[in-house]
């Protein structure tokens, strides 16, 4: 039996769909009552997991307070810690007491940092360098989980994905798809950044690989599609998937950075012009896993779902 928290979220829904397709027994957790789910209410450091953990061998912990732009919390770090650290540790301790064999935690590449230098992708062995409350809370959760594992013998698996996309994706990626379908030129023809992404189908497949692979125990893994894209390359592939062609103007990156600074959009420019790459070589070497979906397949499926929703 596999327990899945955050089962109503973007990754959780995809995971539970795949578990059902493969005929793997699982217990999805939701905040509110809904058919086929076990309702837990708000998950915090005092939640009682005794009923949910009955006969569970593996926990996949996806529930989290996610990163948001312009966080309105009075104390963002305390708000992140309450869910991402306290609630996670509480579940892990109860899971260990209930005899759970393996605890899989979905962390974030933000534990490593916000950007990489050209040709210097993040690796799992790099010293953590979170730069916001969300990334800090994920690092603290990782450290606490590894301590629980060392104390109890429960196996811990930590996965740090970059941006996850796929059918039903929301927020910035959904906005980018909308803009990519519009017929105007983009100023990214000279932007040579590289960013790693992971298709939700690849992430789900890797989670399931980690649930059973002996060598995954007590390891930290980075995950991606295995093919990094520039901003212009990503927009071009999205446009192609929509049956369009994206026109890229040759504007120097430094000029774009300067214009963004003048407009007070430096952070947005860093996301569009900067690099964030992950090295999945160790992930492949340890587990033998490889992404079942190429980045082109993932983007095509994502765009097709979005276009169907709009029709």
Q: Can 134 be counted among the known catalytic residues?
A: yes
Average pLDDT, the chain: 93
- The pLDDT score that the predictor gives to residue 262 is 79
- The pLDDT score that the predictor gives to residue 69 is 56
**How many angstroms separate the CA atoms of 6 and 84, rounded?**
12
- The pLDDT score that the predictor gives to residue 311 is 65
Select which of 49, 103, 105, 134 is catalytic. 134
Asked if the model's pLDDT at residue 249 lies above 70, the reply is yes
Number of H helices, E strands in the chain: 11, 9
- The pLDDT score that the predictor gives to residue 68 is 63
pTM for the whole structure: 0.95
The pLDDT tens digits for 147-197 are: 999 999 999 999 999 999 999 999 889 999 988 888 889 999 999 999 999
Asked if the model's pLDDT at residue 90 lies above 80, the reply is yes
- The pLDDT score that the predictor gives to residue 310 is 73
- Decide which of 267 and 232 is more confident: 232
Q: Which of 147, 73, 65 is nearest to 110 (CA)?
A: 65
Averaged pLDDT, 122-132: 95
197 in Cβ contact with 224 (< 8 Å): yes
The pLDDT tens digits for 22-53 are: 999 999 999 998 999 999 988 999 999 999 99
Task: Identify the architecture of domain 2-160 in CATH.
Answer: 3-Layer(aba) Sandwich (3.40)
- The pLDDT score that the predictor gives to residue 156 is 98
The pLDDT tens digits for 59-83 are: 999 999 886 656 667 788 898 999 9
159 in Cβ contact with 223 (< 8 Å): yes
């Amino acid at each position: 039996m596999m327990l899945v928290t955050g089962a109503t979220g973007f990754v959780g829904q995809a995971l539970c769909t795949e578990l059902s397709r493969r005929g793997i027994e699982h217990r999805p957790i939701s905040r509110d009552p809904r058919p086929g789910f076990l309702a837990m209410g708000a998950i915090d450091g005092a939640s009682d997991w005794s009923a949910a953990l009955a006969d569970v061998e593996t926990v996949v912990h996806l529930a989290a307070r996610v990163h948001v732009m312009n966080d309105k919390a009075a104390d963002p770090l305390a708000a992140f810690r309450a869910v991402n650290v306290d609630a996670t540790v509480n579940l892990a301790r109860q899971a260990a007491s209930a005899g759970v064999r393996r605890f899989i935690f979905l962390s974030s590449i933000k534990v490593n940092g916000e950007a990489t230098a050209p040709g210097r992708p993040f690796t799992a062995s790099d010293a953590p360098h979170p730069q916001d409350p969300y990334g800090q809370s994920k690092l603290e959760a990782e450290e606490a989980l590894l301590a629980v594992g060392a104390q109890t013998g429960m196996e811990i698996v930590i996965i740090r994905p970059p941006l996850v996309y796929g059918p039903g994706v929301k927020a910035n990626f959904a906005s980018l798809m909308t803009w990519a379908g519009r017929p105007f030129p983009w100023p990214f023809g000279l932007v040579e950044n590289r960013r790693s992404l992971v298709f939700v189908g690849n992430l789900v497949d890797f989670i399931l690989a980690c649930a059973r692979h002996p060598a995954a125990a007590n390891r930290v893994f980075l995950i991606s599609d295995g093919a990094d894209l520039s901003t212009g390359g990503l927009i071009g592939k999205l446009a192609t998937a929509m049956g369009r062609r994206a026109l890229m103007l040759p504007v120097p990156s430094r000029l774009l950075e300067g214009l963004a600074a003048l407009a007070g959009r430096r952070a947005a420019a860093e996301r569009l012009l900067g690099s964030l790459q992950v090295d999945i070589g160790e992930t492949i070497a340890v587990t033998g896993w490889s992404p079942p979906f190429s980045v082109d397949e993932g983007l095509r499926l994502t765009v097709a779902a979005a276009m169907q929703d709009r029709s």
